[in-house]
Amino acid sequence: MSLSDQDNRPVGIFDSGMGGISVLGEAIQQMPNESFVYYGDSANAPYGEKSTAQIIALSERVCEVLLAHDVKAIVIACNTATSAAASHLRKKFTQIPILGMEPALKPAVQDFPKGTIVVMATEVTLREKKFAELMLKTASKAKVIKLPCPSLVRMVERSVVYGPEAEKELKACYDNIDLSSIDGVVLGCTHFLFLRKALKGLLGEGVHIYDGNGGTINNLKAILLQKGQLAQPNHQGSFILKSSKDEAYNQQMLDLLRIYEEVAL
């Protein structure tokens, strides 16, 4: 790869709040030479309780903020915004690649073709056309249980990711499900990756947990490679955290990023 095929500009990543920090953490681990600008639209969180039109408008505004930082690509680190706004954003901002998230349902049903799979996500993700298409595409004899968990999003926004409160909220979400019947859980919201350890505590080590973060970052790497826009191998990667709230919230995001490996892997 020649120097002309390298690009040290940052990659933009955004979410409605804290959840996408898990995607940023994965990106930093997998792409240490890249720089990132992360934007948490915390003043408008959670997106999962808003209309499609509202999510599109908010996502547009965030993309404008990221483009002002001269980003070379944007990752929508939010399943809800991906479902509601990705198609619109790609048509509006044609100058750069825009990647989204997809619930990792396919590997789950491949591993358990006749098993029981729980998909934890927001109401918007579960009701949008994109998820219905994913269900059709991965059609199998597996039993798929849709589990909207709005209280968990709000909890992670407060940086509560383990301990008694997290355990109590998770248990309440699973109240009407036979835990012994579950083979796999798909984390269809980036906020929920921070609850992986607590979820393992509730469901047991035998239940497989799937998320789409790794696949999204692999797609990002492939696209940047194809476009000749990977950072130089000797470039020291960095990140900037921004939000629509205040500096105290930015510190919360930094604290959550620091414990990413501890609670999410």
Model pLDDT, residue 265: 61
pLDDT digits (tens, 9 = 90+) for 246-263: 888 999 999 999 988 777
Q: Are residues 114 and 88 in the same domain?
A: no
| Residue 264 confidence class, pLDDT cut points 50, 70, 90 | low
Instruction: Count up the domains in the chain and report the number.
Output: 2
Model pLDDT, residue 263: 74
This model's pTM is above 0.85: yes
Q: Are residues 83 and 138 in the same domain?
A: no
Q: Could you tell me which of 45, 66, 185 has the C-alpha nearest to residue 124? A: 45
pLDDT digits (tens, 9 = 90+) for 66-88: 999 999 999 999 999 999 999 99
Model pLDDT, residue 140: 79
Model pLDDT, residue 169: 97
- Sort residue 12 into left (φ over 0), alpha (ψ -120 to 50) or beta: beta
C-alpha span between 231 and 35 (Å, rounded): 8
pLDDT at 12 exceeding the cut of 90: yes
**Phi, psi (deg, nearest 5) at residue 164:** -55, -40
Q: What is the mean pLDDT of residues 150-155?
A: 94
Model pLDDT, residue 2: 46
Q: Are residues 88 and 45 in the same domain?
A: yes
Give the percent of the chain with pLDDT over 90: 87
CATH number of the domain residue 203 falls in: 3.40.50.1860
Q: Are 167 and 201 in contact (CB under 8 A)?
A: yes
CA dihedral defined by 211, 216, 217, 220, rounded to 10 degrees? 180
Model pLDDT, residue 6: 74
pLDDT at 35 exceeding the cut of 50: yes
Q: Are residues 131 and 227 in the same domain?
A: no
Give the percent of the chain with pLDDT over 70: 97
Q: Are residues 136 and 188 in the same domain?
A: yes
C-alpha span between 207 and 203 (Å, rounded): 6
Q: What is the mean pLDDT of residues 130-153?
A: 91
pLDDT digits (tens, 9 = 90+) for 107-125: 999 999 999 999 999 999 9
Q: Are 119 and 105 in contact (CB under 8 A)?
A: yes
Place of tokens 């990221």: 66
Q: Are residues 13 and 28 in the same domain?
A: yes
Q: Are residues 217 and 258 in the same domain?
A: yes
pLDDT at 60 exceeding the cut of 60: yes
Model pLDDT, residue 3: 47
Q: Are residues 178 and 258 in the same domain?
A: no
Q: Are residues 72 and 164 in the same domain?
A: no
Q: Are residues 204 and 147 in the same domain?
A: yes
| Residue 42 confidence class, pLDDT cut points 50, 70, 90 | very high
Binding site for substrate, by residue number, is 15-16, 47-48, 79-80, 190-191
Q: Are residues 128 and 182 in the same domain?
A: yes
Q: Are residues 153 and 195 in the same domain?
A: yes
Instruction: Print the domain residue range for 133.
Output: 105-211
Binding site, by residue number, is 15-16, 47-48, 79-80, 190-191
C-alpha span between 103 and 241 (Å, rounded): 25
State the catalytic residues: 78, 189
Q: What is the mean pLDDT of residues 31-58?
A: 95
Model pLDDT, residue 247: 84
| Residue 1 confidence class, pLDDT cut points 50, 70, 90 | very low
- Write the DSSP assignment of 212-236 as a string of letters: SHHHHHHHHHHHHHHTT-BPPTT--
Asked, as a colleague might, if the bond just before 46 is cis with ω within 30 of 0, I would say yes
